Structure 1
Amino acid sequence: MKRWLPLLGIALLPSAASAQDARGDWAGTLEVNPTVKLRLALHIAVSDSGTLTGTFDSLDQQALGMPVANLVATSGRLSFDVPAVKGHYEATWNGATRAWSGSWSQSGKIWPLALSIGTKETLAPAPPRPLPAHWAIPDTAAIDSLIDQRIAGRSGAGIVIGVTDSAGHRVTGRVATRATAFDGNTLFEIGSMSKVFTALLLADMVERGEVALDDPAEKYLPAGAKMPMRGGRKITLEDLATHRSGLPRLPDNLSFRDPTNPYADYREADLLDFLGHYELTRDIGSTYEYSNLGFGLLGYLLARRAGTDYETLLKRRITIPLGMNDTTVTLTPAQKARFARGHDQYMRPTSAWDLPILVGAGGIRSTVNDLLLFLDAVMGTKRYSLAPAMKAMLAKRWPGVAPGITTGLGWVVLASPSGEIVYHDGGTGGFRSSMAYGPIKRRGVVVLSNAAVEESINDLSLHLLLGAPVAPPAPVPPVPKPVAARTAIELPVPELDRVIGRYRFNPQLELTVTREGAGLRAQVTGQPRFPIFAEAPLSFFWRVVDAQVVFVAGPNGRVTGAVLHQGGGELVGTRVAP
Structure 2
Amino acid sequence: MRYTLAAALAAPALVIATPAAAQDPVGYWEGMLDAGTVQLPIGVNIERAADGTLTGTLDSPAQNSFDIPVGEIVQEGDSLTITVPVIGGRYEAEWDAAQQGWRGFFNQGGQALPLALTPGTRPERSAAAQPALPADWAIPANDAVSEIVGERLAMRPGTGMVVGMLTPDGIRVVSNGPGEGTPYDADTLFEIGSITKVFAALLLADMALDGTVSLDDPVADYLPDGVTMPSRNGQQITLKNLARHDSGLPRLPDNMAAADIRDPYVDYGEAELLEFLSGYELTRDIGSEYAYSNLGFGLLGYALERAGGADFETLLRQRILDPLEMTDTAITLSDEQQARFATGRDEYNRETLAWSMNALSAAGALKSNATDLLKFAHAAMDPQSAIAPAMQLALSDLRDAPGYRSGLGWMVANTPSGMIAMHGGGTGGFRAHVAVQENTGRGVVVLTNSAIEPSTQDIALHLLAGAPLAEAQPVPDAPVEVARDEVTLTTAQLDRVVGTYRFGPGVDLVITREGDQLMAAVTGQAALPIYPRSQTEFFYRAVNAEVAFAEENGEIVGATFTQDGRVSPLTVVE
Q: Equivalents in 2 of 1:361, 1:108: separation in Å? A: 17
Shift of 1:282: 2.9
Cα distance 1:270–1:553, how it changes in 2: closer, same or farther (>3 A)? Answer: same
Cα distance 1:43–1:266, how it changes in 2: closer, same or farther (>3 A)? Answer: closer
User: For 1:261-311, what per-residue CA distance to the aligned partner results, in whole angstroms no more than 9, with x for missing partners?
Assistant: 222233323322332233333332222222212111111211221111111
Q: Equivalents in 2 of 1:53, 1:473: separation in Å? A: 33
Q: Does the aligned pair in 2 maintain the 1:499–1:538 contact within 8 Å?
A: no
User: For 1:148-195, what per-residue CA distance to the aligned partner results, in whole angstroms no more than 9, with x for missing partners?
Assistant: 111113222111110111011111211042331111111111111101
User: For 1:321-370, what per-residue CA distance to the aligned partner results, in whole angstroms no more than 9, with x for missing partners?
Assistant: 01111111111121111111111222222222222322111111111110
Q: How does 1:226-375 map to 2 (within 5 A)?
A: 226-375=228-377
User: For 1:548-575, what per-residue CA distance to the aligned partner results, in whole angstroms no more than 9, with x for missing partners?
Assistant: 456689999686x876544555667777
Shift of 1:42: 2.5
Q: Equivalents in 2 of 1:172, 1:497: separation in Å? A: 60
Cα distance 1:295–1:505, how it changes in 2: closer, same or farther (>3 A)? Answer: farther
Q: Equivalents in 2 of 1:479, 1:57: separation in Å? A: 27
Shift of 1:129: 2.2
**Equivalent AA in structure 1 for residue 335 of structure 2:** P
**Equivalent AA in structure 2 for residue 218 of structure 1:** A
Q: How does 1:550-565 map to 2 (within 5 A)?
A: 564-565=561-562
**Equivalent AA in structure 2 for residue 467 of structure 1:** G
Q: Does the aligned pair in 1 maintain the 2:241–2:287 contact within 8 Å?
A: yes
TM-score by length of 2: 0.88
Q: How does 1:445-524 map to 2 (within 5 A)?
A: 445-454=444-453, 456-485=455-484, 490=489, 493=492, 496=495, 498-501=497-500, 503=502, 505-507=504-506, 509-524=507-522
The partner residue of 2:529 within 524, 528, 531 is 531
Q: Equivalents in 2 of 1:387, 1:310: separation in Å? A: 21
TM-score by length of 1: 0.87
**Equivalent AA in structure 1 for residue 519 of structure 2:** R
Q: Equivalents in 1 of 2:570, 2:440: separation in Å? A: 51
Cα distance 1:571–1:283, how it changes in 2: closer, same or farther (>3 A)? Answer: farther
Indicate the residue corresponding to 2:125 in structure 1.
Answer: 125
Q: Does the aligned pair in 2 maintain the 1:5–1:85 contact within 8 Å?
A: no
Q: Equivalents in 2 of 1:33, 1:534: separation in Å? A: 25
Bigger mean CA offset, 450-459 vs 51-60: 51-60
Indicate the residue corresponding to 1:430 in structure 2.
Answer: 429
Bigger mean CA offset, 412-421 vs 15-24: 15-24
Bigger mean CA offset, 517-526 vs 198-207: 517-526
User: For 1:368-426, what per-residue CA distance to the aligned partner results, in whole angstroms no more than 9, with x for missing partners?
Assistant: 1101111111111x6223211111101111222x2x31110001112323332211111
Shift of 1:53: 3.8
Shift of 1:2: 1.0
> Which runs of no fewer than 5 residues in structure 1 stay unpaired?
none
Shift of 1:27: 3.3
Shift of 1:319: 0.7
Q: Equivalents in 2 of 1:292, 1:283: separation in Å? A: 18
> Which runs of no fewer than 5 residues in structure 2 stay unpaired?
none
Indicate the residue corresponding to 2:27 in structure 1.
Answer: 24
Shift of 1:505: 4.2
Indicate the residue corresponding to 1:398 in structure 2.
Answer: 399
Bigger mean CA offset, 382-391 vs 311-320: 382-391
Cα distance 1:268–1:441, how it changes in 2: closer, same or farther (>3 A)? Answer: same
Q: Does the aligned pair in 2 maintain the 1:10–1:54 contact within 8 Å?
A: no
**Equivalent AA in structure 2 for residue 418 of structure 1:** S
Q: Does the aligned pair in 1 maintain the 2:194–2:425 contact within 8 Å?
A: yes
Q: Equivalents in 2 of 1:37, 1:454: separation in Å? A: 13
Indicate the residue corresponding to 2:2 in structure 1.
Answer: 2
Shift of 1:3: 5.5
- In the alignment, is residue 174 of structure 1 matched against residue 176 of structure 2? yes
Bigger mean CA offset, 404-413 vs 103-112: 103-112
Q: Equivalents in 2 of 1:223, 1:327: separation in Å? A: 33
Other structure's SS at 1:478 match: coil
User: For 1:432-458, what per-residue CA distance to the aligned partner results, in whole angstroms no more than 9, with x for missing partners?
Assistant: 111011222121100111111227521
Q: Equivalents in 2 of 1:357, 1:494: separation in Å? A: 38
Shift of 1:10: 9.2
Shift of 1:83: 2.3
Cα distance 1:376–1:282, how it changes in 2: closer, same or farther (>3 A)? Answer: same
Indicate the residue corresponding to 1:116 in structure 2.
Answer: 118
Cα distance 1:83–1:497, how it changes in 2: closer, same or farther (>3 A)? Answer: farther
Shift of 1:212: 0.6
Cα distance 1:155–1:525, how it changes in 2: closer, same or farther (>3 A)? Answer: same
Indicate the residue corresponding to 1:547 in structure 2.
Answer: 545
- In the alignment, is residue 389 of structure 1 matched against residue 400 of structure 2? no
Cα distance 1:502–1:305, how it changes in 2: closer, same or farther (>3 A)? Answer: farther
Q: Equivalents in 2 of 1:81, 1:235: separation in Å? A: 22
Bigger mean CA offset, 306-315 vs 474-483: 474-483
Q: Does the aligned pair in 2 maintain the 1:157–1:175 contact within 8 Å?
A: yes
Cα distance 1:275–1:105, how it changes in 2: closer, same or farther (>3 A)? Answer: closer
Q: Equivalents in 2 of 1:49, 1:573: separation in Å? A: 38
Cα distance 1:489–1:106, how it changes in 2: closer, same or farther (>3 A)? Answer: farther
Q: Does the aligned pair in 2 maintain the 1:520–1:532 contact within 8 Å?
A: yes
**Equivalent AA in structure 2 for residue 125 of structure 1:** R
Indicate the residue corresponding to 1:15 in structure 2.
Answer: 18
Cα distance 1:274–1:92, how it changes in 2: closer, same or farther (>3 A)? Answer: closer
Q: Equivalents in 2 of 1:338, 1:113: separation in Å? A: 43
Q: Equivalents in 2 of 1:397, 1:31: separation in Å? A: 35
Q: Equivalents in 1 of 2:359, 2:494: separation in Å? A: 40
Bigger mean CA offset, 287-296 vs 78-87: 78-87
Indicate the residue corresponding to 2:203 in structure 1.
Answer: 201
- In the alignment, is residue 415 of structure 1 matched against residue 414 of structure 2? yes
Q: Does the aligned pair in 1 maintain the 2:19–2:28 contact within 8 Å?
A: yes
Question: Would you say how many aligned residue pairs link Structure 1 and Structure 2?
Answer: 568
- In the alignment, is residue 153 of structure 1 matched against residue 179 of structure 2? no
Q: Equivalents in 1 of 2:51, 2:549: separation in Å? A: 38
**Equivalent AA in structure 2 for residue 386 of structure 1:** I
Shift of 1:491: 7.0
**Equivalent AA in structure 2 for residue 184 of structure 1:** A
Q: Equivalents in 1 of 2:21, 2:334: separation in Å? A: 65
User: For 1:33-60, what per-residue CA distance to the aligned partner results, in whole angstroms no more than 9, with x for missing partners?
Assistant: 99x7765433334445545443333457
Other structure's SS at 2:358 match: coil
Other structure's SS at 1:322 match: coil
Q: Percent identity?
A: 45
Q: Equivalents in 2 of 1:115, 1:256: separation in Å? A: 32
User: For 1:199-245, what per-residue CA distance to the aligned partner results, in whole angstroms no more than 9, with x for missing partners?
Assistant: 00000011101111110112112333332222222221111111222
Q: Does the aligned pair in 2 maintain the 1:56–1:68 contact within 8 Å?
A: no
Other structure's SS at 1:389 match: helix
Shift of 1:522: 1.8
Q: Does the aligned pair in 1 maintain the 2:498–2:513 contact within 8 Å?
A: no
User: For 1:488-508, what per-residue CA distance to the aligned partner results, in whole angstroms no more than 9, with x for missing partners?
Assistant: 67476366355424757455x
**Equivalent AA in structure 2 for residue 271 of structure 1:** L
Q: Equivalents in 2 of 1:49, 1:277: separation in Å? A: 36
Q: Equivalents in 1 of 2:196, 2:154: separation in Å? A: 28
